[in-house]
Structure 1
Amino acid sequence: MPSPAKSSKSARPASKSAAAPAALTPPSHQQDVVHRLRRVEGQIRGVLTMIERDEDCDAIAQQLAAARKALDRAFYEMMACSLEMELQGTPTDDKARERIAEKTRLLAKYA
């Protein structure tokens, strides 16, 4: 049997700017995002269990909505961290303004 072809696409899109990617700082941001994602992980495991037990679709939908909301909050926390990192530089720099504008567009797109 032939092996599946590897995709040339990366899981992480390449950055358009030459700047290094922002790290989660301060550590409280990292802890908050990790806790949020662990909560989502637990919610998804719970949803899988509910589906396997053939539980009520409305109850499953409610749990999926809660997991989606928690994942959205983790995303917004990441974007807030990214904006904070941009603002730590020189906010009057044209490139910094462009990066901040791009992040603002991302927030609007996924809100």
Structure 2
Amino acid sequence: MDNEKTCACAPEAAWPETTALGTPRKRHRTPEEYQDLINRLNRVEGQVRGIRGMVEKDAYCPDILFQASAVSKALDSFCKELLGQHIRTCVVDDLEAGRSETVDELVRVIQRLMK
């Protein structure tokens, strides 16, 4: 497993590879952090497959809706965990290094998540 993971909240397609100060937008996740995120995504993936199966079997609409709601909550939980990791590591590191523009970036991220 490659220990250097691209920060999921700043994918290369959406953000420049480096910050305005030229620092890389990468973060080193611990194996535990990485596995926790992957486990959460695997759970969501399984739930979505279950919903697809329900649709294919013409399940009762409210039952499908309840499962879809569970997927939405699981994704929200994933986002909260990832945001928490980001704040505890990337944001703190940037602030300690004097990169105050990180606060503006964090505000933009939170605003976008709350849309």
* One-letter code aligned to 1:78: L
SS in 1 for 2:26: coil
Tell me how far 1:89 sits from its aligned partner: 4.2
Give the 3 Å change call, closer, same or farther, for CA 39–24 of structure 1 in structure 2.
farther
Query: TM-score, normalized by length of structure 1?
Result: 0.74
Query: Tell me, which stretches of 5 or more residues in structure 2 are unaligned?
Result: 1-10
Query: CA deviation digits over 1:82-106, x for unaligned, max 9?
Result: 222221244361xx22113312331
Alignment-derived partner of residue 75 in structure 1: 79
* One-letter code aligned to 1:12: A
* One-letter code aligned to 1:85: C
Tell me how far 1:80 sits from its aligned partner: 2.0
Query: TM-score, normalized by length of structure 2?
Result: 0.72
Give the 3 Å change call, closer, same or farther, for CA 69–88 of structure 1 in structure 2.
same
Q: 1:1-111 counterparts in 2 under 5 A?
A: 12-15=13-16, 17=19, 18-83=22-87, 84-91=89-96, 93=98, 96-111=99-114
- 2:44 touches 2:74 (CA, 8 Å); kept in 1? yes
- Runs of 4+ with >3 A deviation: none
Identity over aligned pairs, percent:
27
Q: Which moved more, 1:25-34 or 1:81-90?
A: 81-90
Higher relative contact order (CA 8 A, sep 6+): 1
